[in-house]
Amino acid sequence: MTSLVPTSEDTVIYEFCILYPANLSQKEEQTLLKGIEEVFAEAEGKQIAKDAWGRRGLAYPIKKQTEGNFIVLYYEMDPTKMKEVDRQLRILPNLLRHLMVKPPKGYELVKYSEAFEQWQKDKVTAVETKRKDEESKLQRKVVEKAKRDAKRTEVKKAEVKKKEIPSTLEEADLSKKLDELISDDTLGL
C-alpha cells in the first residue's frame, strides 16, 4: 500500500476505472488500451499505478455485454484537463464505461487484483483443508466401525467356543466310559 500524494501543487491524482467488453480480440484490446494511453498522454497525465482486475461478470447487461474487463488506473494530472479526458474517453470505440474519481487525502493505494488472487488462494486452501478434515473424520469412523466389527466377531467366536466345549467334554467322557466298558472283563464282551 502506498499513499497517493501529488508531486506538485497544480496537479491532482485521479483514479480511473475503465470497463471494456471481455470478448474483444487481442488486437482490438491492444488498440483500445493504446487509445486510452494516448488520451492521457495528450492531457500530460503521469501514470502512477495500474491495477488490472481482469474479467468479471456485470450486474446488468451494458451494450448487450454480460462480462467485461476492468482496469483501474491512477494518473497525476492537471484538473483543468479532466473535461477533455472525459470527452475523449466517451468517444473511444469498444469502451463500455469509465469512471473518474478524486481519491480523498490520505488515500492508500491498494492493488485489489493482488488481494483478489490471495483471497482465491486462501479459498482453495480452505476448501482443501475442509476436504482433508472430512476425509480424516471418515477414516476415524471406518476405523471405529472396524474395531466394533472385530469385537463382535471375537464375542461370537467366544460364544461358539463355549458351545463347543461341552460337546468336546461329552465326547471325551464318552470315549473314557467306552474304554472302561471295553476293558471291563465282567461284562463278557
For residue range 115-134, list pLDDT tens digits in order. 777 878 888 888 888 889 89
pLDDT, tens digit, 9 for 90 and up, residues 39-65 = 999 999 999 889 888 888 999 999 999
Tell me the average pLDDT of the chain.
84
Task: Count CA within 13 A, CB hemisphere, residue 64.
Answer: 2
**Cα–Cα–Cα angle for 109, 37, 19, nearest 5°?**
65
The pTM assigned to this predicted structure is: 0.58
Structure confidence by residue, pLDDT tens digits, 156-186: 888 777 776 555 557 777 777 777 777 766 6
